A and B are shown apart, each in its own frame.
Chain A
Amino acid sequence: EVQLVESGGSLVRPGGSLRLSCAASGFTFNHNAMAWLRQAPGKGLEWISAISGGSDTVYYADSVKGRFTISRDNSKNTLYLQMNSLRTEDTATYYCSTLNTWFEFDFWGRGTLVTVSS
């Protein structure tokens, strides 16, 4: 059974940093592209970053480019999101997901809440 468990969300001040983790199990992690998405309270889904299985290809949404960094450790079956220069508009539940053949997000974690507020 595929399991994705996010952690690391918390309350942080504007301008601060945070690192999210996503522990994966139940599938061959290094064979799968992975992604981070988020959902602000009461809003729709927003994709923010994706990374290939071997980390050779990464993508970022314009809204986070230059501030967020996606990475993975295939030896630990873990996906990361380093978030710097956080803004109040980054407040959201952050989800990690597998990214499949047709660029669909086929499995999702339950999410971790990041609140950026002074």
Chain B
Amino acid sequence: SFVLTQPPSVSAAPGRTARIPCAGNDIATKSVHWYQQRPGQAPVLVSYYDRDRPSGIPDRFSGSISGNTATLTITRVEAGDEADYYCQVWDSSSNPVVFGGGTKLTVL
């Protein structure tokens, strides 16, 4: 089955740029979505269809894909961005929904 690999943690100072990678074989052939989950809260969709943003999500959040890696980039990082971030794709297999293991963003 399809596997998405994320680093357990990423850190960035306030005002700087955070990049959260999500690696998967031939990931560019799939639509990649990203979720933010703050502590004690439900996940929130922050990027979908590789690079689109839902209504209400700041343009500081952007998705991209290059080669076998999708990346969520957060510019001008704020304290409130500290959260777990998950990538997700739909795969045409018996287990069609695949999540990455999640990356904890720490704002220094």
A→B interface (CB under 8 Å) = 35, 44-47, 50, 59, 61-62, 95, 100, 102-111
Indicate if the CB atoms of A105 and B45 lie closer than 8 Å: yes
B→A interface (CB under 8 Å) = 31, 33, 35, 37, 41-45, 48-49, 54, 84, 86, 88-90, 94-97, 99-102
Residues of chain A within 8 A of B54, CB atoms compared: 106
Indicate if the CB atoms of B88 and A104 lie closer than 8 Å: yes
Give bound CA distance, A45 to B33, whole Å.
13
Closest Cβ of chain A: how far from B73's Cβ, in Å? Answer: 18
Closest to A107 in B: B45
Indicate if the CB atoms of A108 and B31 lie closer than 8 Å: no
Residues of chain B within 8 A of A95, CB atoms compared: 42-43
Residues of chain B within 8 A of A35, CB atoms compared: 97
| Known interface pairs A45-B86, A50-B97; A104-B33 also in contact (CB < 8 Å) | yes
Residues of chain A within 8 A of B100, CB atoms compared: 44
Indicate if the CB atoms of B86 and A108 lie closer than 8 Å: no
Number of A-B contacts (CB under 8 A): 60
Indicate if the CB atoms of B42 and A45 lie closer than 8 Å: no
Indicate if the CB atoms of A62 and B97 lie closer than 8 Å: no
Closest Cβ of chain B: how far from A101's Cβ, in Å? Answer: 8
Which residue in B35, B49, B96, B102 is a CB contact (below 8 Å) of A59? B96
Which residue in B35, B48, B90 is a CB contact (below 8 Å) of A45? B35
Indicate if the CB atoms of B49 and A108 lie closer than 8 Å: no
Indicate if the CB atoms of B99 and A46 lie closer than 8 Å: yes
Indicate if the CB atoms of B99 and A45 lie closer than 8 Å: yes
Give bound CA distance, A109 to B97, whole Å.
18
Indicate if the CB atoms of A103 and B90 lie closer than 8 Å: yes
Residues of chain B within 8 A of A61, CB atoms compared: 95, 97
Looking at B42, B84, B89, which has the most chain A CB atoms within 10 Å of its CB?
B42
Give bound CA distance, A102 to B90, whole Å.
8
| Known interface pairs A110-B42, A111-B42; A104-B99 also in contact (CB < 8 Å) | no
